[in-house]
Chain A
Amino acid sequence: MAEFASADALLEATRKARAAGYTEVEAYSPFPIEGLADATGMERNWVPPIVLGGGVVGCVGGYFMQWYSAVVSYPINSGGRPPHSWPEFIPVTFELTVLVAALAGVAGMLLLNGLPRLSHPMFNVREFDLASRNRFFICLRSDDLQFESARNFVRQLEPLGVWEVPA
């Protein structure tokens, strides 16, 4: 793992690492950096489809619940309106669409990120505390095929420091 002082240096280093053939590259920064995820080789961002799915489930499920209760399970005459008085089912359908989509989005994001988790090998490096403050880190993982050469590779990127992450 190597430490850098600026976002651009990290972006540069990540691109170089990918160009040099490393596949298991992780980049850590104290704020989101545009293009960094692509540089690490992120493939598909599944968050939008998950949110859409949640929205569809909330919408259809919410409407079905009201239809089922008002038409099948418990029909009551309310001011002479038909049991299936759909315009009045819209507010609850809308709210449930938003609610389920939001819950699915947050849960999906955490799940895809493998969070929450209590511990991670990265936290064993003391300097990594600064990843949430002002430093930028790149980590080449040991399950990479080229890991043997990783230490020399990161040295030549002129980092502030290089550390080994204990597994």
Chain B
Amino acid sequence: MSEIDTRLERWGYASVSDKIADIVLARPTHWIWGVGFLVTAAGSAALFGAIVYLFVKGVGIWGIDIPVAWGFAIANFVWWIGIGHAGTFISAILLLLRQKWRTSINRFAEAMTLFAAGIAGLFPILHLGRPWFFYWLVPYPNVMELWPQWRSALVWDIFAISTYLIVSLLFWYLGVVPDLATLRDRATSRVKQVAYGLLALGWRGEARHWARFETVYLLLAGLATPLVVSVHSVVSLDFAIAIVPGYHSTIFPPYFVAGALFSGFAMVLTLAIPMRHFFHLEDFITVRHLELAAKVLLACGWIVAYGYFMETFIAFYSGDPYEIAMVKDRFFGFYGPVYWTVLTCNVLVPQILWWRAARRSVWTLFALSLAVQLGMWLERVMIVVQSMHRDFLPSSWGLFIPTMWDWIILGGSIAFFFFLFLSFLRLMPAISIYEMRKLIREEGVRS
């Protein structure tokens, strides 16, 4: 058995190309896909309907008020951008570390990153009181002769998020170009030939082109690696720069990045498990891939657990009465059940991954990934809401209770994410074809 254990022995250049390309071109539609598409399309419509209503009425339709001015919108933003981390981590960092098993999962994980980061980018705009002025964060020549405030974490944020989105898009598109050429050459209808032909930019696989292509791909991986770490660090600074107990903490950047990878790898499993099942990709995404992802999940889970522990420890160690009050409120206050659910989903339940049988049981992993998603979302809510609802003065305490619109926008954003992903599966090759061909050659040489 080869070290990466993609069951490629029975595949050749042609069959692997045809298998992956035909998911797009020949379209063996499964009725589950159709049902999923309709449901998520309806959910997306609900999201955009709710956004229109939000723009008409203002953010008062949510449960936010003073003191909790950041509600679900910011929690959703942090959660989605976190999910968007695993894709680039898999593509860039695992590429640099020469982890060949990434080849089977990098393409769809990158697509996941793009969709999640794009949805995340919506939320900061949605939560603005005057969303039509969001571009004021960008430096552009204006008649008011104003500049952005460079000392603001929110300005760093827009630079970090937009850079991340653009670089992720470039990285993903670059990788997909040779595969679009494959689709162009295999498509039978004129419309598809022209569409994929235009997207493939005239790629023809010349040796010098490949050489430059591989160089830029590797360099982009090198650039994306510090970028991945920087994005969630900058997001965490939105909180850590503030003085509110529960926000003001130096552990936030690494704690956020680990949480991001944690939820991101959980989403990779959530997507990969049904995908390999319904499109019969078990030979490319094997149980070994899922097992490796599960191990990364377990490792990230422990870093997150360390974050929880240190937050609590430092609060008491500091002796600061406000920090201590915040932690006590987190444990036993109004939002206490949220905290204990977070610990259950993110620390307790993932420990089953110590057992090999659990790591290799596909549907256990699927259930676990959903639990981690829930846990990480609740963690974001806990950080955003619970920290803010009781700060220094009892006179300014208050509660945040989500309204129907909070839930619709959350649910709608999840539906929209899956809608985009389902569409992606039918329009683009979900596994990198040219890298699979390369892998087949390398495996052939070895065996």
Contact = CB atoms under 8 A, between A and B. Distances in A.
Interface of A: 7, 14, 26-33, 36-37, 39-40, 42, 45-48, 51, 55, 65-66, 69-70, 73-74, 76, 78-79, 81, 85, 88-89, 91-92, 94-96, 98-99, 101-103, 105-106, 108-110, 112-113, 115-120, 122-123, 128-134
A78 B149 contact: yes
A95 B230 contact: yes
Contacts of A106: 170, 174, 216, 220
B393 interface: no
A79 to B, nearest CB: 8
Given A69-B139, A102-B220, A42 B182 contact: no
B185 A134 contact: no
B163 A98 contact: yes
B210 interface: yes
B186 to A, nearest CB: 7
Nearest to A119: B202
B17 A133 contact: yes
A62 to B, nearest CB: 9
A98 to B, nearest CB: 5
Interface residues of B, number: 60
A123 B17 CA distance: 19
Q: Which of B14, B147, B207, B210 has the most CB of A within 10 A?
A: B207
11 contacts: A26-B207, A33-B207, A36-B207, A42-B207, A69-B147, A73-B145, A88-B151, A94-B226, A98-B226, A99-B163, A102-B171
Pick the 9 closest A-B CB pairs, nearest first: A116-B201, A37-B211, A134-B13, A69-B147, A134-B14, A32-B210, A129-B185, A91-B156, A117-B202
B186 A129 contact: yes
A131 B224 CA distance: 30
Contact of B212 (A45, A88, A131): A45
A58 B394 CA distance: 47
Contact of A40 (B149, B198, B207): B207
Interface string B171-185: 100100010011011
A65 to B, nearest CB: 6
B434 interface: yes
Given A88-B150, A105-B219, A108-B216, A29 B207 contact: yes
B182 A102 contact: no
B308 interface: no
A98 B207 contact: no
Contacts, number: 190
B166 A115 contact: no
Nearest to B174: A106
A14 B212 contact: no
Contacts of A129: 185-186
Interface of B: 12-14, 17-18, 139, 145-151, 155-156, 159-160, 163, 166-167, 170-171, 174, 178, 181-182, 184-186, 198, 201-216, 219-220, 223-224, 226-227, 230, 234, 237, 434-435, 437-438, 441
Contact of B216 (A31, A36, A51): A51
A28 B207 contact: yes
A120 B186 CA distance: 17
B60 to A, nearest CB: 30
B150 A47 contact: no
A120 B202 contact: yes
Nearest to A101: B223
A116 B202 CA distance: 6
A115 B201 contact: yes
A33 B434 CA distance: 11
A116 to B, nearest CB: 4
B223 A98 contact: yes
B205 A37 contact: no
A86 B347 CA distance: 39
Contacts of A27: 206-207
Contacts of A115: 201-203, 209
Given A47-B219, A103-B166, A133-B186, A31 B437 contact: yes
Contact of A32 (B18, B198, B438): B438
A46 B167 CA distance: 20
A58 B215 CA distance: 20
B147 A7 contact: no
Contacts of B145: 73-74
A134 B433 CA distance: 11
B209 A102 contact: no
Given A26-B207, A39-B207, A116-B202, A31 B434 contact: yes
A119 B219 CA distance: 28
A95 B163 contact: yes
A83 to B, nearest CB: 10
A89 B208 CA distance: 39
A91 B234 contact: yes
B150 A103 contact: no
Q: Which of B167, B184, B211 has the most CB of A within 10 A?
A: B211
Contacts of B203: 115, 132
Given A31-B434, A99-B163, A130-B185, A105 B216 contact: yes
A149 B51 CA distance: 69
A85 B151 contact: yes
